[in-house]
Structure 1
Amino acid sequence: MIRFDNRDVGLSERIEGTPDLAAIRRGDLSTLPYTLKDMAADSVGLLDALGIDRAHILGASMGGMVAQLMAIHWPERVRSLCLIMSSTGDRSVGQADPATMALMRRPAPATREGVVEAAVERSRALAGGRASRSTRTRHEPVRPRRTTAHTTPAGRIRQQAASIASADRTPELRGLRVPTVAIHGTDDRLVDISGGRAIADAVPGAWLEAVDGMGHGIVPEAWPQIIAAICRNAARPTASPGDSSGDSSGRQAGTRVRPRRAAREVPDRARQTASCGRLTPVPGARGGTRALHRRPPTHPGSSASRYPTTSTSR
């Protein structure tokens, strides 16, 4: 599995420029340092540098928007698409509730201690009802790590500007022919689950995996369900690169099919466990989601080494 820091976050390169968010919301993009499509091009460039033709792509939150653009503009590089707590760019769906948005828009604290406190407060507010007490209190021992300069307010603002400037991707998503799953928590107060539902409605053959009680973050309690959905989606047949005659559900040109049903939310009790090798946490992983390492299945013909998973988050 390849997991990397997007531009302007972690240990990746910092970009110059101070965007005017108010102007960008009005449609004036003159101060926009870069776009989400530029970030998608970064992901493609990474695959080029590593000599990888195609990969299973996973993106969370803003990373899910970047992953969508990667599939839209470079479909030949994408074997499957997993979009977690993301949206289509349609402003009528996936919106945050007012209290959460007010919290996220607070000015960055001036002190290191203030930055840590603000990060912990945001994490708790976004956790969702499914997060256990142990998950909520887990922030306490990791406070010293929050003081490192892997995330800067200026970088967050530039990424936010790119998100605000992005257009509605729904028309382009309807043209995708790649196995797609939208995974979304029912308690997500930053990106409402209507965003995930809109993705599943737009992409042919896609489905919405609703995670009961999960907020805007991946909690250990939800790992089994999320891993099963990722594996199930990655195992689906993929159209040949550049082939628009069929879609990710295996339909071929000229074949009569029933109209695709609207996205269906699968309840926990009706879900079956999938298997695609053993996935275990990697110690010391940074970023918006916990990294997972894939141990290749033991059965012959495994494609784990040929088609790695690429992950992009905030």
Structure 2
Amino acid sequence: MTTDIETTYHCNGVTLCAQTFGDAADPAVLLIHGACASMLWWEDELCRRIAAAGRFVVRYDQRDTGRSSSFPAGAPGYGLRDLAADAVALLDALGIDSAHVVGRSMSGGVALVLGVDHPTRVRSLTLVSTTTGELPMGDLDTPPDPDPRDPAAVVDHLVAVLRAYAGGSPHFDEDATRVLATADVARTRDLRATLVNHFAMDFDGPRGGGFTDLRTPTLVVQGELDPVFPPHHGEALRDAIPGARLVVLPDSGHEVLEPAWDRFVAALAEHTS
């Protein structure tokens, strides 16, 4: 098994930084993270475990995260459809006809657009810690945004947010989270844009319908303790998608943290077989 170095691709009029794990001859799994999160939050070891299950793993920085293109802070000028078009263009650049798409949190919306508007490019969908958008979010107490000119303050902010997102999960490891947050901040082009633009973009959704119109095999993964989208969000998502299956991760919050990786990878491997 090999791990490629980070590579920059020019896709859909933007620059996307991506990395692959495993054998390109294996079925592709495209990992798309949520708001403000670069590809680093699909941790290296998690990607290696998915690859070891016989999958060619692709992770990438979406717009306004990591080393991909940045847009004016507060005025990104793009929407979910653009992020989905980026994903399709990245598959084209990598020579991948279709992939098993995994969308986490906000990027459940990106995955929905891919599944409805680009169905020939999607072999299956896995929706992690996300929502139909019809239920209220959990009552979450998060700190105000830090000064983006102070990288140390941004790291502290990320650690605090992810502690809150853990929902009291025993899986939360503050030291490991700080190491990852420090690496993420160090490689981010524009921290100000990263902190705000995914919340300021257009949540336009697919042109061809909604969750009930998906005809792609879909797995819903939900954390038992998720304070952002509590468990009834996962249940509603499963019920909205024809034939969808729900897997609940015990003792897990909004993120899929290391103690839950074995169960998550097993469920993903089964779903994408």
TM-score relative to the length of structure 1: 0.62
Q: 1:116 to 1:33 in 2, by over 3 A?
A: same
Determine the structure 2 residue equivalent to 1:39: 83
Which amino acid counterpart does residue 3 of structure 1 have in structure 2? Answer: R
In the aligned structure 2, how far is the partner of 1:46 from the partner of 1:60? 18
Determine the structure 2 residue equivalent to 1:77: 121
In the aligned structure 1, how far is the partner of 2:206 from the partner of 2:113? 11
Determine the structure 2 residue equivalent to 1:156: 195
Quick check: 2:117–2:208 contact (8 Å CA) kept in 1?
no
Deviation for aligned residue 1:111:
2.1
Quick check: 1:108–1:153 contact (8 Å CA) kept in 2?
no
What is the count of residue pairs matched by the alignment? 215
Greater relative contact order: 1 or 2 (C-alpha under 8 angstroms, separation 6 or more)? Answer: 1
In the aligned structure 2, how far is the partner of 1:153 from the partner of 1:125? 21
Q: 1:170 to 1:227 in 2, by over 3 A?
A: farther
In the aligned structure 2, how far is the partner of 1:68 from the partner of 1:33? 20
Determine the structure 2 residue equivalent to 1:11: 67
Within 5 Å, which residues of 2 pair with 1:139-288?
Answer: 139-141=177-179, 144-150=182-188, 152-162=191-201, 165-166=203-204, 172-235=210-273
Determine the structure 2 residue equivalent to 1:279: none
Q: 1:183 to 1:52 in 2, by over 3 A?
A: same
| Local SS of the residue matching 1:53 | coil
The CA deviation string for residues 216-272 of structure 1, in whole angstroms up to 9 with x for no partner, is 11111111211121122112xxxxxxxxxxxxxxxxxxxxxxxxxxxxxxxxxxxxx
In the aligned structure 2, how far is the partner of 1:199 from the partner of 1:168? 16
Which amino acid counterpart does residue 270 of structure 2 have in structure 1? Answer: R
Which amino acid counterpart does residue 89 of structure 1 have in structure 2? Answer: G
Which amino acid counterpart does residue 7 of structure 1 have in structure 2? Answer: R
Quick check: 1:185–1:214 contact (8 Å CA) kept in 2?
yes
Deviation for aligned residue 1:149:
4.5
Structure 1 vs Structure 2 CA RMSD? 2.5
The unaligned stretches of length 5 or more in structure 1 are 20-31, 236-314
Structure with bigger gyration radius = 1
In the aligned structure 1, how far is the partner of 2:82 from the partner of 2:100? 19
Which amino acid counterpart does residue 237 of structure 2 have in structure 1? Answer: I
Deviation for aligned residue 1:195:
2.4
Quick check: 1:181–1:233 contact (8 Å CA) kept in 2?
yes
TM-score relative to the length of structure 2: 0.71
Q: 1:215 to 1:170 in 2, by over 3 A?
A: farther
In the aligned structure 1, how far is the partner of 2:206 from the partner of 2:139? 20
In the aligned structure 1, how far is the partner of 2:175 from the partner of 2:212? 41
| Local SS of the residue matching 2:210 | helix
In the aligned structure 1, how far is the partner of 2:207 from the partner of 2:128? 16
